[in-house]
Amino acid sequence: MTTHRLTTKRLQLNVSICGQGSPLLLLNGLGGLIRTFDPLRNELDDFMTITLDVPGVGKSQMPRWPFRLPSHADVIAGMLEQLGIEQVDVFGVSWGGALAQEFALRYPSRVRRLILAATSPGPLLLMKPADVMDFFRKSKNTKTHKQEISGHSVQTLLRFGVMKGMLSVNPRTYYFQLAALIGWTSLLRLSRMLQRTLILAGDRDPLIQAYNGHILRRTIRRSELRLLEGEGHFFVVTSAGRTAALVREFLRRHYDDEEKAPRIAN
């Protein structure tokens, strides 16, 4: 696994590349750090997996002002150009699934196939800023925190991610990423998406409920939906092997009208 420091749109990015094979870009969820994808990357060691801390997350530079989602897509395009990668398969989970949709719509020639996990076509409001503020305020008192979030799905998910070292502990990170989604939707544009798309959804996801997967399936022309029974929002982590098997089968499937693998420039 190698780490790169790249500068795109005048921001320093922390980028991680692992393995060899056809390139697969992994886009993280809200507050997600690079290491969130470690279990999935270990299962997909026959691919060259590329992931990053998006601007404002982890070791990537915090922008002065929040980026809108199209600007995040431009950052991804600039990153791939610097890495000499012309075309990729893209896997996006949750907030990263929204970014994956925007990137595929904005740069269609750079995306061969698309995988959307635990995400929505919008309007997408993963959580309220007040939930984030409340979570980090309560985190200062561990005993109170454990008592008060037991029945609150959003705060339970945040606590799980932070304790596992998968999510940022900087509240500003969440505010900036939530701001990127204000007013965003792909719903009226998805009929233009021509990439073959795999949609993954957990049937017990309290944050992005399974009906969002059905909406994506009906709107994206060449798409298929796989519902993961008994899985919640973090199935990419908690069931990495199961997720990787579905991803591998989808990406290895042959279609006569497609190139066999994404391209890497010399």
Q: Which residues are catalytic?
A: 94
Q: Which of 20, 13, 58 is nearest to 41 (CA)?
A: 20
Instruction: Please report the DSSP string for 130-183 in residue order.
Output: HHHHHHHHHHTSHHHHHHHSTT-HHHHHHHHHHHTT-B---HHHHHHHHHHHTT
Please state, as a whole number, how many other Cβ atoms lie within 10 Å of the Cβ of residue 133: 13
- Angle, to 10 degrees, between the axis of helix 153-163 and the axis of helix 129-139? 50
Distance (Å, whole) CA 177 – CA 31: 8
Residue recorded with tokens 């056809």? 22
- Burial state string for 99-129 with b = 16 or more CB within 10 A and e = fewer than 16: bbbbbbbbbeebbbbbbbbbbbbbebebbee
